[in-house]
Structure 1
Amino acid sequence: MSWNTLSYLGDSMLLIPTAVIIALVMPWKNNDRRAVWFWIVVFCLAGALVSLSKIAFMGFGIGSARFNFTGFSGHSAMSATLWPVMFWLLSGRLASMARVTAVAVGYLIPLMVGFSRLELDVHSTSEVVSGLLLGYTLSSAFLISQRSSQLKGFSVVQLCVALLVPVLLFSHGRLATTQGFLINLSKEITGLKKPFTRTELLKQH
């Protein structure tokens, strides 16, 4: 599996539709009726914090040259928010050891995504680590809130339906345009002709 393929597991083009599927399935498979609202808040909060950190840098130059930090790694943060919850939900009625293994895989995938972002040289270590910490904090908070909930199992057909869209998106590999959107939004907010860049940040240091 290539670094680009691993990186795609954290791309918004894949994660946002998958997050919507989780929200649609949650009330059906979880006896805690509040869970879907907790999930929406958690996922949207992750996206909002990532976006604000990027706008703060690209629009206002708020970053850290010392730590080479220009904002949370969105791929790392969003994947760490989503995949542990996704695997927890899908493994709801499996044996205890199988559930633990499934959730562990959910926590492992974001680590691989974060490492791929470093290998592709699109983020610094501080951006990946902080993104993972943000995402893991949010997903873990959600899972802790659900420790007393009871999940229903998935039949093979239900599992295939739930995974159909994510699998199709993964096989297609089309990338999201969120970075371009945030760049334009930063310029609109601040009136700048061009956003602040990492190169300018490091030159100041």
Structure 2
Amino acid sequence: MSFWFLITLFGHAWLMFGLALVIAVVLAFNGTRAAAWRWLWLLGLAVGITIASKLAFLGWGLGIRALDFTGVSGHAMYAMAIWPMLAAVLTEGRAPTLRMTALGGAVLLALAVGWSRLKLGVHSPAEVVSGALLGGAVAAAAVGGVRAGPAWRPALLLAAVLGSALLAWRVQPALQLPHNLLVKVALAISGKAQVYDRCTAWPCS
């Protein structure tokens, strides 16, 4: 496993969805159910935008050729939305220095995930930047709803991180499942026999 492939796992749906749900549960148990629903709604909206952009290209070739944009990077979006939110939940009520350090580290991890998509040749800069901006907007809007909670909260969240990371590692053969599902959906709703890629949408030189 290459270094950049390992980093990119920190933005994969297998890991991110589990963490997002645990964050929502912790928010709800903290007595802030409105914040939990707000978090899930905002993240769901971002996921919907990301999926719609990918389906538009896969099914109909709708993108921006000048920017080499074929859809929002899901990894970049998930990482920037969820890791800072996780850091905020873990450090709420702690010393400001610790809180800012944790948030800064989470943002750096999210940026590293985005950079890994470039290094692996999966996405263009425009796709990564759009994903990071979309995820960052979700995190910025949701962090304000975080409140200090029970003492068991950090242990639960850290266990969720480790458990989700183990799951992501164990299901490596299924890492392409989200993309493969998008391909099937795009074919079904567009009626095409084959999805678009960069060379079929924009003839390669």
Identity, in percent, stands at 31
Change (3 A) 1:133 1:17: same
Tell me the equivalent position of 1:169. Answer: 167
Change (3 A) 1:138 1:160: closer
* Pair 1:178 & 2:178 matched: yes
The alignment partner of 1:34 has SS state of: helix
- What does the per-residue CA deviation read over 1:55-82, in whole Å, with 9 as the maximum and x for residues that have no partner? 0111111101111000001100111111
Whether the 8 Å CA contact 2:22–2:157 is kept in 1: the answer is: no
State the alpha-carbon separation in 2 of the partners of residues 200 and 113 from structure 1. 28
Q: Which amino acid aligns with 2:11?
A: G
Change (3 A) 1:173 1:119: farther
Shift of 1:204: 7.7
Shift of 1:201: 2.8
Change (3 A) 1:81 1:159: closer
Q: Which amino acid aligns with 1:196?
A: Y
Task: Within 5 Å, give how 1:35-184 maps onto structure 2.
Answer: 35-144=35-144, 146=145, 150-152=147-149, 154-155=151-152, 157-172=155-170, 174=172, 175=175, 177-184=177-184
- What does the per-residue CA deviation read over 1:9-59, in whole Å, with 9 as the maximum and x for residues that have no partner? 010011111111111111123x43301101110111111111000001111
- What does the per-residue CA deviation read over 1:136-160, in whole Å, with 9 as the maximum and x for residues that have no partner? 011111124x2xx531254475455
Whether the 8 Å CA contact 1:87–1:106 is kept in 2: the answer is: yes
The alignment partner of 2:66 has SS state of: coil
Whether the 8 Å CA contact 1:13–1:176 is kept in 2: the answer is: no
Shift of 1:171: 4.4
Shift of 1:163: 3.4
Whether the 8 Å CA contact 1:54–1:70 is kept in 2: the answer is: yes
Tell me, which stretches of 5 or more residues in structure 1 are unaligned? none
**Count of residues in correspondence between the two structures:** 201
Q: Which amino acid aligns with 1:152?
A: G
State the alpha-carbon separation in 2 of the partners of residues 126 and 36 from structure 1. 31
State the alpha-carbon separation in 2 of the partners of residues 10 and 40 from structure 1. 17
State the alpha-carbon separation in 2 of the partners of residues 170 and 183 from structure 1. 21
Structure 1-normalised TM-score?
0.90
State the alpha-carbon separation in 1 of the partners of residues 129 and 168 from structure 2. 24
Q: Which amino acid aligns with 2:36?
A: V
Change (3 A) 1:116 1:192: same
State the alpha-carbon separation in 1 of the partners of residues 96 and 56 from structure 2. 43
Structure 1 runs, 4 residues or longer, greater than 6 Å off:
none
Whether the 8 Å CA contact 2:198–2:204 is kept in 1: the answer is: no
- What does the per-residue CA deviation read over 1:106-161, in whole Å, with 9 as the maximum and x for residues that have no partner? 211110001000000000011001111111011111124x2xx5312544754554
